[in-house]
Structure formats: structure tokens, C-alpha cells
Amino acid sequence: MRKLFMAAAFLLGATAAAAAADPIEGVWQTQPDDGAFAHVTIAPCGNAFCGTISRTFKDKAEYASPNIGRQIVIDMAAKGGGNYEGKVWRPANNKIYMGKAQVSGEQMSLSGCVAGGLLCKSQTWVRIQ
């Protein structure tokens, strides 16, 4: 009986931990750009969320980009309703922009903005894990 109770408690704890994960957490595939895309792993960092490039692909084949391990989503803080604000790094020009994210199910719209948020460029990422 004790073993059954312990197994049930473990299962309940694992289920609660999975349910407690924030919607932005996980592995996301970026939108292709000139035939290249990446997998970005988003996890808690301090009181916010950060995303690190974990795999890169070019022409549908995996390759060893020098950007693997670089943080592309920086200090994204939850604002409620699937909205986040922080910073994003754009590898193409090595610049950091004011960032916004909107998570809706298995998709995320991620924007990098300048001029106080008046001019933004967005990508749609898809959750793969």
C-alpha cells in the first residue's frame, strides 16, 4: 500500500511540475531566413525567460553555426495573457532590439523593435518540444 501511495504522490508531483511550466518555455523553431533556421531553447533566467540557440540548420541540414549557444531571447518578462517583453538579438546584424513575444498555443510571434516600439519586425516561431 505504501508503494502505491508513493507512486501516486510521484505521479501527482510530476504532473503538477509539468502544468506549472510557463507557456513560453520549451524548444522553438525559428522562421526560415535565407534557407537557415534554428532551434531555440527558452527557459527561466532569474525572474524572466531567456532563449539560447541550441541547433542550427541550413538548406534543411543541420550545421555547426558559430551562433550555437548564443542567447537570442533576453530577459523576456511575462506581462500576462501570453504576452512577454524583453530584448531580442538579431544574428544577421549582431544588434539587440527591444523585444515582444505573444504565445498562442504552439506558435509564438516574436518582434524586435526600434524607435520606442514604433517600428517592429516579426517572426512566427513554432514549438517543437
pLDDT at 91: 87
Place of cell 510557463: 22
Per-residue model confidence as pLDDT tens digits over 55-113:
999 988 999 999 999 999 999 999 999 999 999 998 888 999 999 999 999 999 999 98
Please state the domain extents for the chain.
23-127
User: Which residues, 6 or more positions from 65, have their beta carbon under 8 angstroms from its beta carbon?
Assistant: 36, 38, 53, 56, 58
pTM, two decimals, is 0.80
pLDDT band for position 6 (cuts 50, 70, 90): very low
Three-state secondary structure along the chain? CHHHHHHHHHHHHHHHHHHHCCCCCEEEECCCECCEEEEEEEEEECCEEEEEEEEEEECCEECCCCCCCCEEEEEEEEEECCEEEEEEEECCCCEEEEEEEEEECCEEEEEEEEHHHCEEEEEEEEECC
Architecture of domain 23-127: Beta Barrel (2.40)
C-alpha span between 97 and 50 (Å, rounded): 14
In the numeric block, which cell numbers belong to residue 3?
Answer: 508503494
**pLDDT higher at 20 or 14:** 20
